[in-house]
Copies of this chain bind each other. A is one copy, B any other.
Amino acid sequence: MVQQQTSDPALLDRAFAALADETRRGVLTRLGSGAATITELAAPSGMTLTGIRKHVDVLEAAGLVTTEKVGRARQVSLGTERLDDAMAWITFYQRLWERRLDGLDAYFTLTKGTES
């Protein structure tokens, strides 16, 4: 029996939802090189500051970034969320998926009358 990881469903919902957008994934990638202001994050995407700020809010709610006022700018850094639960869930799913294939293999082996 494959054991499912126990984790807070709402946290997992927020983490996966935060990752379900290319711009937000781009922001996380950019922050991997160091903190950036909202203006710096907006520049490569061609988005408005308001647009980027909304994406940053979604990432912050998921714990994936933290923000801090520095003078008149808002500085954004990678947060404390390591996505361990998201990783664990996908690992769990892949085990289910492979077990299902093992089941099919066993079935085909059986119907061919051979043993392995």
Question: Which residues of chain A have a CB within 8 Å of any CB of chain B?
Answer: 2, 4, 9, 12-17, 19-22, 25, 28-29, 31-32, 34, 78, 82-83, 86-87, 89-94, 96-97, 99-100, 103
Contact = CB atoms under 8 A, between A and B. Distances in A.
13 contacts: A12-B19, A12-B20, A16-B19, A16-B20, A19-B86, A25-B89, A29-B93, A32-B96, A78-B97, A82-B94, A83-B90, A83-B94, A87-B91
A2 B96 contact: no
Contacts of A31: 96
A20 to B, nearest CB: 4
Number of copies: 2
Which DSSP category, helix, strand, loop or mixed, fits chain A's interface?
helix
Contacts of A22: 9, 12-13
Contacts of A32: 2, 93, 96-97, 99-100
A98 to B, nearest CB: 9
